[in-house]
Structure 1
Amino acid sequence: MLNVENLNVWFGDPPDRVDAVKSVSFRVARGESFGLVGESGSGKSTILRAITGLFGTWSGLIEVAGEKVSGRHRSRAFHKTVQMVFQDPYASLHPRHSVDRVLSETLHLQGMDQIDRRIAILLDSVGLGRGFRFRYPHQLSGGQRQRVAIARALAAEPDLLLLDEPTSALDVSVQAEILNLLSDLRKERGLTYVMVSHDLAVVAHMCDRLAVMRSGQVVEKMDASVLRSGAAQTDYARQLLAASSSYEREAG
């Protein structure tokens, strides 16, 4: 579903150029859930933005469903295949647009018909009743806003969802609900996920495989079962696991 080879992403020009991603390669099979983990600034979210065309200064190979992408331009066909759910549901929804407008505009852009019926189905699919259709973002909780953002991503009927820390801005009590929703949607729709997170417990729960990133590079790839067993190969990945385990014990 996704093939990334020797990806480099940078900002600025010499001598001020910053290399945010360096020679990153990974493949994600159709129907798989793949995680990118690492500290803040490790380059994981930058990879998602390069895939979607939000960053244009990159080199290497990006293939989605066998089709190469280049530069910043992405076709309508690309956006029907790939959608992204951003970290902050407060920032990703227009404050003056109702849920109805958010979804109807997305459906129109994708050339869909039967807009009313599709909106009702989308709201049901993310656990929001039809009573939410004409509400505005300020009338919704954080979890409800993220459900709207997920519904907007699903409107295009994509095959691949890019998830950029989809629960990190939410209350802990709501995070599990959104993760369970994403798990159910993946099973029901046969979706492929690439999930960015700094939370190893989330990745262990959601993903089949993952890549550990540090300073723009992949330092280790592993199955989620290796992550759960704590059997990482590199010192950095083991330190990350140890820090995460320590944090979870203190929080508990």
Structure 2
Amino acid sequence: MPLSDTPAPMLSVQDLSVWFGDTHNRFQAVDTVSFTLAAGESLGLVGESGSGKSTILKAITHLATDISGHIHLDGTPLTGPRDKSFYSTVQMVFQDPYASLHPRHTVDRCLSEPLRLQGATDIDNRVRQVLEEVGLGAKFRFRYPHQLSGGQRQRVAIARALVQNARLLLLDEPTSALDVSVQAEILNLLSDLRKDRGLTFLFVSHDLAVISHMCDRILVMHQGKITEVLQDKQLQSGTAETPYTQGLIEASRGFTRKEMAGA
């Protein structure tokens, strides 16, 4: 097949580096990272805290601006502040479902306001539909964040991402602030939504069990670099080439054993 007939990846990141701080106290958080993400794929970024996982998401959304390298969405280069077309394709779900929702805005306002900014005309129907999709329903429409549980708030955050018909979700530790039983519910919801809507995920987590369950392919990060690329079956079987990745797997197993012993 000619190269011109090969579809561009949905997301392409090439030689991405990200810095924080001023000239005298500048820190490189991401160091020449490259990867591609195909439409419909779920790609995981895993590593310990400070490895640069969430910083990559910030660079994609232009929340981190001191960067070098190239980012392309559907073959189009992303430069400067992101516009409406970007946010109608890409949405981010943050770790803390309470902090990411305005405490004085109802669920209805949270979901309908982005649609008004887009100039949508079928706002009422879209809000109702997305609430049903995330398992809340119309009875939650006029509640405030403090009237919702952590899991319900995260469902609203997911609904806010979906109401604009985004195709790529950037998921930054979306279940780490939730109880274990609620984590499973949210992960199952995300899996169902990915299947039903044909979504693409870039999923950040330090939890190897979550990444293994949710992702087709895993990028292991350490000190701002990608040190290994794994398929989900490799992670599930504990197969790793680098000592760092093997250490992460062993640490995860040890934590699980301790948790089970204390139960």
TM-score range (shorter-chain normalised) is over 0.9
The one of 201, 205, 208 aligned to 1:197: 205
| Superposition deviation, residue 144 in structure 1 | 0.2
The one of 49, 71, 83 aligned to 1:75: 83
| Superposition deviation, residue 15 in structure 1 | 2.9
Cα RMSD (Å) of the superposition?
A: 0.8
The one of 27, 34, 41 aligned to 2:43: 34
Deviation per CA, 1:44-96, whole angstroms, max 9, x where unpaired? 0000010011111111010111111013x011111111000000001000000
Q: Distance in 1 between matches of 2:214 and 2:144?
A: 30
The one of 171, 178, 181 aligned to 1:173: 181
| Superposition deviation, residue 146 in structure 1 | 0.2
Q: Distance in 2 between matches of 1:23 and 1:15?
A: 21
User: Which TM-score applies when normalising by structure 2?
Assistant: 0.94
Could you tell me which amino acid in structure 2 is paired with residue 54 of structure 1?
Answer: L
Asked if 1:51 is matched to 2:60, the reply is yes
| SS of residue matched to 1:102 | helix
Q: Which runs of 5+ in 2 are unaligned?
A: 1-9
Q: Distance in 1 between matches of 2:32 and 2:242?
A: 18
| Superposition deviation, residue 13 in structure 1 | 2.8
Could you tell me which amino acid in structure 1 is paired with residue 238 of structure 2?
Answer: G
1:16: which partner in 2?
A: 25
Deviation per CA, 1:83-129, whole angstroms, max 9, x where unpaired? 00000001000000000110110211222221111110010010001
| SS of residue matched to 2:176 | coil
| SS of residue matched to 1:178 | helix
Asked if 1:230 is matched to 2:238, the reply is yes
1:25: which partner in 2?
A: 34
Give the number of aligned pairs: 251
Asked if 1:142 is matched to 2:150, the reply is yes
Q: Distance in 1 between matches of 2:43 and 2:36?
A: 9
The one of 229, 243, 253 aligned to 1:245: 253
Could you tell me which amino acid in structure 2 is paired with residue 19 of structure 1?
Answer: Q
Q: Distance in 1 between matches of 2:98 and 2:126?
A: 24
Q: Distance in 2 between matches of 1:109 and 1:39?
A: 37
| Superposition deviation, residue 14 in structure 1 | 2.9
Dislocated runs of 4+, deviation >4 Å: none
Mapping for residues 158-169 of structure 1, pairs under 5 Å: 158-169=166-177
| Superposition deviation, residue 161 in structure 1 | 0.4
Q: Distance in 2 between matches of 1:42 and 1:153?
A: 26
2:4: which partner in 1?
A: none
Q: Distance in 1 between matches of 2:23 and 2:115?
A: 42
Q: Distance in 2 between matches of 1:247 and 1:109?
A: 45
Could you tell me which amino acid in structure 2 is paired with residue 10 of structure 1?
Answer: W
Deviation per CA, 1:147-183, whole angstroms, max 9, x where unpaired? 0000000011011000000000111110000000000
Q: Distance in 1 between matches of 2:79 and 2:30?
A: 16
The one of 117, 122, 125 aligned to 1:114: 122
Mapping for residues 124-135 of structure 1, pairs under 5 Å: 124-135=132-143
Asked if 1:86 is matched to 2:94, the reply is yes
Q: Distance in 2 between matches of 1:63 and 1:245?
A: 37
Could you tell me which amino acid in structure 2 is paired with residue 226 of structure 1?
Answer: Q
Q: Which runs of 5+ in 1 are unaligned?
A: none
Q: Distance in 1 between matches of 2:123 and 2:38?
A: 32
Greater Cα shift, 62-71 or 181-190: 62-71
| SS of residue matched to 1:89 | coil
| SS of residue matched to 1:91 | coil
| SS of residue matched to 1:116 | helix
